[in-house]
Amino acid sequence: MIQLSKISLAFGDRDVLKDASLVVAAGTRAALVGANGVGKTTLLKVIADVIASDSGGKSIQKGCRVSYLPQTGLVHRGNSLYDETEKAFSSIKTLISRMETLASTLEGVKNDDEGARLLEEYHVLSELVENSGYNMRKQKIQTVLEGLGFAPKDKDRSVEEFSGGWQMRIALAKTLLETPDVLLLDEPTNYLDIEARTWLEKWLADFRGGYVLVCHDRFFLDVTVNEVYELFQGRLKRYAGNYTAYEAVRRAELESLVKRYNEQQEEIAKSEDLIRRFRYKATKAAMVQERIKRLEKMERIEIPESFKKMRVRFPKPPHCGKTALALDGLGKRYGTRRVFGGLDLLLDSGEKLLVVGRNGAGKTTLLRILAGKDADFEGTVTYGAGVVAGYFSQDAAETLDDSDGGRSVLEYMEKDAPIALIPKIRDMLGAFLFRGNDIDKNVAVLSGGEKSRLALLNMLLKPMNLLILDEPTNHLDLQSKDILMDALKAFAGAVVFVSHDRTFMEGLSTKTLEISGKDAPSSTRLFHGDYGYYLEKIAAENAAETEETRPKIEDAAKKGDARERFSAEKQRQSEERRRQRREGALLSVIDALEKEKTALEAKLAAPAVYANGEKARAVQAQINELAAKIEERIAEWETAASD
- Among candidate residues 477, 32, 4, the one with its CA nearest the CA of residue 228: 32
One domain for residues 105 and 229: yes
Based on the structure, what is the number of domains in the chain?
3
| pTM recorded for the entire structure | 0.69
Same domain, yes or no, for 164 and 264?
A: no
Provide the 3-class DSSP secondary structure of residue 128.
helix
Strand partners, 327: 345, 381
Q: Are residues 14 and 98 in the same domain?
A: yes
* 329 within a domain of the structure (yes/no): no
**Domain-embedded: residue 442:** no
Cα angle: 530, vertex 536, 540; to 5 degrees: 145
Cβ proximity of 397 and 455 under 8 Å: yes
In the prediction, which pLDDT does 516 show?
Answer: 80
Looking at the fold, whether 163 and 187 belong to one and the same domain comes out as yes
Contact in structure between 317 and 463 (CB atoms under 8 Å): yes
Q: Which domain holds residue 264?
A: 257-307
CATH of the domain at 185: 3.40.50.300
> Are residues 266 and 297 both part of a single domain?
yes
| 101 and 146, same domain (yes or no) | yes
Q: Indicate if 278 and 177 belong to the same structural domain.
A: no
List strands edge to edge, sheet with 378-383. Answer: 337-348, 323-334, 378-383
Is position 95 within any domain? yes
Does residue 97 lie in a domain region? yes
Identify whether 503 is part of a domain: no
Looking at the structure, tell me whether residues 116 and 85 fall in a common domain.
Answer: yes
Do 272 and 208 belong to one domain? no
* Residue ending a domain, choose from 246, 274, 297: 246
pLDDT of residue 169: 94
Last residue of a domain, one of 221, 246, 271: 246
Whether 175 and 195 map to the same domain: the answer is yes
Mean pLDDT by 10 residues, the chain (643 residues): 92 88 93 86 93 92 91 88 92 88 83 84 86 85 94 92 89 93 93 91 94 93 95 90 91 80 85 81 79 84 64 80 90 84 91 89 91 91 91 79 69 83 84 81 79 85 91 84 88 93 93 76 84 89 65 50 47 57 69 77 73 78 83 71 55
Does residue 613 lie in a domain region? yes
- Which of 246, 274, 296 corresponds to the end of one domain? 246
228 forms bridges with which residues in the sheet? 31, 239
Same domain, 105 and 178: yes
CA 271 to chain centre: 47
For residues 240 and 279, state if they share a domain: no
